[in-house]
Amino acid sequence: MAAPADSDLDGGTQRRTAWRELVFEQARTAGEVRLRVSGGSMLPALWPGDVVSVRPCSIAELRPGQILLFGQHQKLTVHRVVQVAGDYLIARGDSLPCADPPVTESELVGQVVSIERRGRRIDPEPSLSRRVIAAILQHSSPLRRITLILSDAKPMSRLWDLGKIYLPWAS
């Protein structure tokens, strides 16, 4: 199946395609690209709002456990390598139960080499506690949703601010 011509794509799809190509080009020419993460598929290793630095690499340079950035279907995705199989690899979000479609060399932007969260550098290698939490989140959709709700809370507490919730018995 041939790729659709630009005139066949809606405005949003054209913008996503242009953004994806810009990220690929920036990584190739500058040797690194920095992006802000959205979504919760990589909880607890990556939280919405984290900034990742990505350096170009080939599939042959990656090994299971490393985090990568790739683009498929006008979308950029940051997930962890599960398996390297010759000319493609399999990746999956830490908190997702299913793997992504195979990632080819042409879809690979590069490896996440650093994570910045609220001004602090976070190690991209998975710790034991992050692996345990990720395994729990993989098997519980409600817990994933709750974790995402909490990720939107103020950084100081990650708990709901009861002062902003209307409690009829407290007024």
CATH number, position 133: 2.10.109.10
Give pTM, 2 decimals: 0.74
Phi, psi of 16 (to 5 degrees): -65, -40
Q: Is residue 97 in a domain?
A: yes
Number of domains the chain is built from: 1
- Which residue has tokens 């976070």? 122
The verdict on residue 19 lying in a domain is: yes
What residue type is assigned to position 61 of the chain?
E
* Contact present, 76 and 20 (Cβ < 8 Å): yes
Residue 103, beta-bridge partner list: 89
Q: What single letter denotes the amino acid at residue 114?
A: S
Q: What is the pLDDT of residue 3?
A: 52
| pLDDT of amino acid 80 | 96
Nearest to 82, CA basis, from 61, 67, 104, 60: 67
The per-residue pLDDT for 32 is 95
Contact 132, 120 (CB under 8 A): no
Give the whole-angstrom CA distance, residue 145 versus residue 167: 23
Report the largest interatomic distance among the alpha carbons of the chain, rounded to a whole angstrom: 64
Q: Please give the pLDDT value at position 126.
A: 73
N residues, the chain:
171
Instruction: Quote the CA–CA distance of 62 and 125 in Å, as a whole number.
Output: 13
Q: What integer pLDDT is reported at residue 8 of this predicted model?
A: 59
H or E element that contains 40? none
Is 162 inside any structural domain? no
The verdict on residue 3 lying in a domain is: no
pLDDT at res. 143: 78
Q: What is the mean pLDDT of each successive set of 10 residues along the chain, which is 171 residues long?
A: 54 84 90 93 90 97 96 93 96 93 97 94 80 79 76 46 41 39
Query: 164 lies in a domain?
Result: no
Q: Which domain holds residue 45?
A: 10-145
